[in-house]
Amino acid sequence: MDKKTVLIVEDEKNIVDILRFNLQREGYETLEAYDGETGLRLAMEKNPDILLLDVMLPKLNGFDVCRTLRERGNNLPVLILTAREEEADKVLGLEIGADDYITKPFSMRELMARVKANIRRTSMKMDAAASTMDTGSGLVVNTETYQVTKGGKVVDLTQREYELLTFLASHPGKVYSRIDLMEQVWNYGYVGDDVRTVDVTVRRLREKIEDDPASPAYILTRRGVGYYFADQA
């Protein structure tokens, strides 16, 4: 039995204590850091299965930790812990490559659901059948190596961007609402304001794969309905 490891990067000791207690009770191993620098180092060295990342941290803030990880090509799932009054943090966090966020104060039940959903996607990804998905216009997804190339060049995607792309691309032409995508790609059985997460992730994905993100050729919008992958093969 392989225990999953959760890295907690949070400077409020009481929150770390509660998280550690609940995560360990659910069968996770935990690692802890109380400042951003240590958190970044542990994320790179210990290769955890998920990172719970506070924003306001000593030495290096959560956004810088996340941004640095992505710049170094580390795509581990990152769940940002934001304070309620910092609404803008949610969107900023997603734009710099976090996979998800949860607002403090959060219920432990919700947090556990998010942790599980984000880790489960990783495990499913590992079990995926080996194959290559060629969209027919230079964009190629290798589901064995999880590598996406465009015109032969590697496109560096976060896990969530990769999952959104492969999900849409495997059903070309079919339009999915943001709620559908939350359920299918994010694995959430409930939704709220969180559908905005889908928009931000779509925008980020377009910036990486489209020649002109303002006039996309792959991930298209059906106004008032949702998103779909161009049926161009």
The contact set with Ca ion (CB under 5 A) reads 11, 54, 56
In angstroms, the CA 14 to CA 30 distance is 15
Q: Which is nearer to Ca ion, 6 or 16 (CB)?
A: 16
Q: Which is nearer to Ca ion, 11 or 134 (CB)?
A: 11
Structure token pair of residue 189: 């059985």
Q: Which is nearer to Ca ion, 8 or 169 (CB)?
A: 8
Contact by Cβ (8 Å): 200, 193: no
Nearest distance in Å: CB 54, Ca ion: 4
Structure token pair of residue 158: 């976060």
Structure token pair of residue 45: 């060295």
Nearest distance in Å: CB 71, Ca ion: 22
In angstroms, the CA 145 to CA 214 distance is 29
Nearest distance in Å: CB 163, Ca ion: 29
Structure token pair of residue 59: 């030495």
Nearest distance in Å: CB 83, Ca ion: 8
| Rg, C-alpha atoms of the chain | 18
Residue with the CB atom nearest Ca ion in the bound state: 56
Q: Which is nearer to Ca ion, 104 or 150 (CB)?
A: 104
Structure token pair of residue 164: 């959104």
